[in-house]
Amino acid sequence: MSEPRVIPTPSPDPVMNDNSNQTKILTIVIYALQAASFIVGLTFLVAVIMNYIKRDDVRGTWLESHFRWQIRTFWFCLLWGLIGALLSAVVIGVFILLTNAVWVIYRIAKGWMNVAENKPMYT
């Protein structure tokens, strides 16, 4: 008599666990809120508040780098936005504001693509 055949169950994806799917969706929502800030500026503030509130949920996971990326995007955008606004009376301020907008679009797009591919930032 032969031994019963055991079919191995697939091991869980080390990148995704039960809670990770929810936090991945949250990360995508935060990128969407950042993108929506070009229409409704307040959503950028909502996004960073969500980052700070849910930061502990992603600590130690690959999504932690996305939260760091999103938080830094907010603070540097705010810094360069203020500098650009202060200098907007001079032509250089307008260029700073335009460059800041392009940089934010890049950060949102790069982050969104990486999270969609289950890749951390800063690789």
Query: Per-residue pLDDT tens for 8-66?
Result: 443 334 444 546 789 999 999 999 999 999 999 899 999 999 999 999 999 999 999 99
Q: What's the pLDDT score for residue 1?
A: 58
Residue 99 lies in a domain: yes
Cβ contact 118:62 at 8 Å: yes
**pTM beyond cutoff 0.85:** no
Burial (CB count <10 Å: 0-12, 13-18, 19+), residue 43: middle
Residue 123 lies in a domain: no
Structural domain count of the chain = 1
Residue 106 lies in a domain: yes
Residue 78 lies in a domain: yes
What is the number of other CB atoms lying within 10 angstroms of the CB of residue 73? 23
Residue 9 lies in a domain: no
Token pair recorded at residue 35: 């993108």
- Any alpha helices (H) in 1-123, and if so which ranges? 18-36, 42-58, 63-86, 91-116
Q: What's the pLDDT score for residue 38?
A: 95
Residue 43 lies in a domain: yes
Q: Which domain holds residue 30?
A: 18-116
Cβ contact 63:112 at 8 Å: no
